[in-house]
Chain A
Amino acid sequence: MSVLFAFLHALALLLAVVTLAAFLTWVERRVLGFWQDRLGPNRVGWQGILQVAADMIKIFFKQDWIPGFADKPTFIAAPIIVLASVLLAFAVIPFGNGVDIVGALNVGLLFFLGMTSLSVYGVVLAGWSSRSKFSLLGGMRAAAQMISYEVFMGIAVIGVVMQAGSFNLEKIVAAQTHIWFIVPQFFGFLAFFIAGIAEAHRLPFDLPEGENELGAGFHTEYSSMKFGMFFVGEYAGIVLLSALSVALYFGGGHGPIFPPIIWFALKSSFFVIFLILLRAALPRPRYDQLMSYGWKLMFPLAIGNLAVTGGVMIALGQ
């Protein structure tokens, strides 16, 4: 019975996340529209809210084409890896109110880092198995960008782990009852958030896709629902990044009056909107700029943050 319940619980969360991600595609276009003095999609349903359904119908009925020159098994596996790794990472997010699946997993944060590393494989394999130049270039960029940004993402969150004394995300949230980690770990948050954007290959760090130079980058050859999986994976990645930023640095579900899940959702949506705002506001850096930001600016920043955190903790005798 409890097995069945756990299964249904997981299924419900998965469905919720996928629906949310699909819904975000409409939110993004609408909000981007307003920020560019346009209206965005507002025709299907009230204020265009059913645009998602229309897009779904369209994308399901598109021809699902695999190029003859592609490496078929890998080509099919790549989008599955991307979507699955992002969705699996949601298992450890501590939403509170019993919504989360294993928020108290003792290696929760490591599990998240592992899953984001896995999603790199999806992107790289997609680029490689397409056997087209644009896709391969996109895949190579993804590999270099995501692996180098992952390095200091890991280092940046270590500061939080040191202060909370655990990899358990629920304990990390519980450790922020008095003060959110954004205050002592500000630079850590900066490094984490920027690395997170690069991990989710969102604008301004969408070099693996780079529409105006690489066609569509690593998913140039993908069509129909296989493309849809990348798409949903990207938006689920945004939600994941926002949720994790909230859990690690903004006190998770802590807040007055409302139950934790409401606070968690509110804070997460703030970050989702902020990520969309970044897309509207910032240009894409050149590839060498991206690499040098990563290694020469963010990496030392994360290391420095780690050293200072350690020093202060020793000085305070914790």
Chain B
Amino acid sequence: MYVLTSLRSAWLTFKHLFHRTETVQYPEQMPYLAPRTRGRIVLTRDPDGHERCVSCYLCSAVCPCDCISLQRTSAPNQWQPEFFRINFSRCIFCGLCEEACPTSAIQLIPDFEMSEYNRQNLVYEKENLLIAGTGKVPEYNYYRVAGIDAFGKHKGEGPAERPPVDPRGLMP
């Protein structure tokens, strides 16, 4: 009994010799990566070409690996980070930073080929992270929809905004 079932499973396994193999011969044969693949992290710019990041520290706070380190610039009324550092030797590419970011500044892109011989080289600085474009969110500009005074836009002038209510003009 045991022998027969064993021989049967041996035969079924043997037939796999003639099946197609699933292996992807990686460096020669690149697998398709979906645009949402979570890989290397970039910092994007808004459609006007300004840095999107407003140094809110949300990404650094949410990161489960504590691998984001940043500091807001000391210039008054300026919000871009003075330095922005991601330690990719600790990052687990969970994408939580991307979810937390209110300005869509930090984004994960489909690239995972980041091998280095020296571990220090896996610490990316702002100039390594910052890209020229808008990444996955083309139209979005945080200051245009945030409802605040910024870049010559006054309160209530944004696309989905109504003019601010005058509390003193409200009659019962």
Residues of chain A having any CB pair with chain B under 8 Å? 31, 33-39, 190, 274, 277-278, 280-282, 293, 297
- Which residue, B9, B13, B17, B22, has most C-beta atoms of chain A within 10 A? B13
Give which listed residue, A34, A190, A280, A293, contacts B21 with CB less than 8 A.
A34
Instruction: List chain B residues, Cβ under 8 A from A281.
Output: 6, 9-10, 12-14
Cβ of A35 and Cβ of B3 under 8 Å apart? no
B36 within 8 A of A: no
Cβ of A282 and Cβ of B9 under 8 Å apart? yes
Cβ of A34 and Cβ of B10 under 8 Å apart? no
Instruction: List chain B residues, Cβ under 8 A from A297.
Output: 2
Give which listed residue, B2, B10, B12, B25, contacts A293 with CB less than 8 A.
B2
B20 within 8 A of A: yes
Give which listed residue, A38, A39, A190, A277, contacts B13 with CB less than 8 A.
A277
Instruction: List chain A residues, Cβ under 8 A from B9.
Output: 281-282
Q: Would you mind naming 12 contact pairs between A and B with Cβ atoms under 8 Å apart?
A: A31-B17, A35-B16, A37-B16, A37-B19, A37-B20, A37-B21, A37-B22, A277-B13, A277-B14, A278-B10, A282-B10, A293-B2
Nearest CB of chain A from residue B25's CB, rounded to whole Å: 8
Residues of chain B having any CB pair with chain A under 8 Å? 2-3, 6, 9-10, 12-14, 16-17, 19-23, 25
Instruction: List chain A residues, Cβ under 8 A from B13.
Output: 35, 277, 280-281
A316, B78: Cα distance in complex, Å:
107
Cβ of A278 and Cβ of B16 under 8 Å apart? no
Shortest beta-carbon contacts, A-B, top 9: A281-B13, A39-B23, A281-B10, A281-B9, A35-B16, A280-B13, A37-B22, A35-B13, A34-B17
Instruction: List chain A residues, Cβ under 8 A from B12.
Output: 281
Name which residue of chain A comes closest to B8, CB basis.
A281
Cβ of A38 and Cβ of B10 under 8 Å apart? no
A39, B23: Cα distance in complex, Å:
6
A190, B9: Cα distance in complex, Å:
17
Instruction: List chain B residues, Cβ under 8 A from A35.
Output: 13-14, 16-17
A36, B22: Cα distance in complex, Å:
9
Give which listed residue, A38, A277, A280, A282, contacts B23 with CB less than 8 A.
A38
Nearest CB of chain A from residue B6's CB, rounded to whole Å: 6
A293, B13: Cα distance in complex, Å:
23
Name which residue of chain B comes closest to A283, CB basis.
B9
Instruction: List chain B residues, Cβ under 8 A from A293.
Output: 2
Cβ of B6 and Cβ of A38 under 8 Å apart? no
Instruction: List chain A residues, Cβ under 8 A from B3.
Output: 190
Nearest CB of chain B from residue A38's CB, rounded to whole Å: 5
Instruction: List chain B residues, Cβ under 8 A from A274.
Output: 10
Instruction: List chain B residues, Cβ under 8 A from A282.
Output: 6, 9-10
Name which residue of chain A comes closest to B18, CB basis.
A34
Name which residue of chain A comes closest to B13, CB basis.
A281
Nearest CB of chain B from residue A34's CB, rounded to whole Å: 5
A33, B20: Cα distance in complex, Å:
11
- A39 and B21 in contact (CB under 8 A), knowing A281-B9, A282-B9, A282-B10? yes
Give which listed residue, A38, A277, A278, contacts B22 with CB less than 8 A.
A38
Instruction: List chain B residues, Cβ under 8 A from A36.
Output: 16
A282, B4: Cα distance in complex, Å:
12
Instruction: List chain B residues, Cβ under 8 A from A38.
Output: 21-23
Instruction: List chain A residues, Cβ under 8 A from B17.
Output: 31, 34-35
A239, B14: Cα distance in complex, Å:
20
Instruction: List chain B residues, Cβ under 8 A from A39.
Output: 21, 23, 25
